[in-house]
């Protein structure tokens, strides 16, 4: 056994004792992004950051503000040699686009651009780091007959603001739509509360592309979300296709262990083959629906188009 493994053993044994006698280990709940229930055509834009100063400042002629939403109910992801089915993933952000240059500034909502539903890792902790010939780890493995101790829940979280949004790529296939920095929170009693794949400084960067050309739709609507062919607002829809990415790299885990000091990083990395270079990982998002919404004629609301968009969004909040 290496000196490093010997040094972490007392801390791990103390944590095992704490679990055995029912002393709770420190946990920190994932922050929930605030969202509003929206009416009608506003429905996909529950977290659009319309009140962000950058969005409000859009004048409608030089800078144009829009809301963007992309949602998938299910999918699959492979990180190293671990594969899992994903739950629902919801990506939302605002975009301020310069009408002259085409350059876009992405504005993330409070709580982060992406919100992912928790999903179980197949095999749980047994699959992530067992069996093991290292006494410290084998001691944990021996306690995992209890399914509640074995269960590992993974949740995708934002690790920064998305960048390089390309709306025209969203209408095609095989082109990167947006760069999305994420980290994946692995939750289990023995892994502690700060076990992550990726960090804010070294995230997993997903660059999804349409795997087929989506169906394009357009809908004018009023502030309350009701359809109206002469409405002040316009919604663009891109639906009926899957999205995917096979080019991203995955860093090793960090913070894994009951003391959240990374005592078990090496064990998880060893069993899951992390870090994993680009080309060894992949993501598929099933039946992705992507929408944009904004003023149909933003110039007519200049120089207060951003404020007008915000006012209309707030009218669309379901009562």
Domain residues of the chain, as ranges?
3-26+70-211+241-292
Q: Are 113 and 92 in contact (CB under 8 A)?
A: yes
Q: Which of 255, 22, 11, 259 is nearest to 139 (CA)?
A: 11
Beta carbons of 130 and 142 less than 8 angstroms apart: no
C-alpha to C-alpha distance for 37 and 292, rounded to whole angstroms = 17
Q: Are 34 and 111 in contact (CB under 8 A)?
A: yes
> Is pTM, for the whole model, over 0.75?
yes
Q: Which helix (H) or strand (E) holds 56?
A: helix 53-56
Q: How many CB atoms lie within 10 A of CB 18?
A: 14
* 314 φ, ψ (degrees, to nearest 5): -65, -35
DSSP state of 310: H
Which two tokens mark 221? 């609507």
E strands, the chain, are 63-72, 74-79, 82-86, 89-98, 104-107, 114-116, 119-120, 153-158, 180-187, 196-197, 204-206, 209-210, 215-221, 233-245, 253-254, 282-295
Buried b / exposed e across 120-130, counting CB within 10 Å, b at 16+? ebeebbbbbbb
pLDDT in tens, the chain (319 residues): 344 333 333 333 333 223 322 223 323 333 344 789 999 999 999 999 999 999 999 999 999 999 999 999 999 999 999 898 888 999 999 999 999 998 999 999 998 999 999 988 887 787 777 766 666 667 677 776 556 778 889 999 999 999 999 999 999 999 999 999 999 999 988 899 999 999 999 999 999 999 999 999 999 999 999 999 999 999 999 999 999 999 999 999 999 998 878 989 988 898 889 999 999 999 999 999 999 999 999 999 999 999 999 999 999 999 8
Collapsing DSSP states into helix, strand and coil, what is residue 49? coil
Distance CA 202, CA 252 (A): 10
């Amino acid at each position: 056994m290496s000196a490093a493994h010997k040094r972490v053993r007392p801390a791990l044994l103390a944590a095992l004792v704490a679990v055995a006698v029912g002393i709770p280990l420190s946990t920190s709940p994932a922050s929930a992004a605030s969202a509003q229930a929206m009416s009608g055509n506003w429905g996909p834009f529950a977290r659009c950051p319309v009140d962000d100063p950058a969005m409000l400042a859009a004048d409608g002629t030089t800078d144009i503000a829009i809301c963007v939403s992309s949602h998938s109910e299910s999918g699959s992801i492979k990180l190293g040699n671990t594969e899992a089915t994903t739950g629902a993933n919801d990506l939302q952000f605002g975009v301020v686009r310069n009408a002259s240059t085409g350059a876009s500034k992405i504005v993330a909502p409070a709580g982060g651009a992406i919100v992912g539903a928790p999903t179980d890792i197949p095999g749980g902790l047994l699959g992530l780091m067992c069996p093991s010939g290292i006494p410290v780890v084998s001691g944990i493995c021996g306690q995992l007959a209890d399914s509640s101790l074995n269960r590992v829940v993974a949740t995708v979280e934002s690790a920064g603001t998305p960048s390089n949004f390309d709306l025209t790529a969203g209408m095609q296939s095989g082109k990167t739509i947006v760069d999305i920095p994420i980290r994946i929170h692995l939750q289990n009693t023995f892994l502690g509360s700060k076990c992550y794949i990726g960090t804010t400084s070294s995230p997993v960067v997903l660059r999804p592309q349409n795997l087929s050309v989506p169906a394009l739709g357009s809908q004018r609507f009023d502030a309350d979300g009701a359809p109206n062919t002469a409405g002040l607002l316009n919604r663009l829809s891109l639906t009926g296709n899957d999205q995917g990415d096979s080019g991203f790299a995955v860093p090793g885990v960090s913070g894994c262990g009951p003391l959240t000091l990374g005592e078990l990083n090496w064990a998880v990395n060893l069993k899951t083959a992390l870090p994993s270079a680009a080309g060894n990982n992949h993501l598929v998002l099933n039946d992705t629906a992507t929408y944009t919404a904004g003023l149909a004629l933003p110039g007519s609301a200049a120089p207060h188009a951003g404020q007008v968009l915000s006012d209309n969004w707030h009218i669309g909040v379901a009562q």
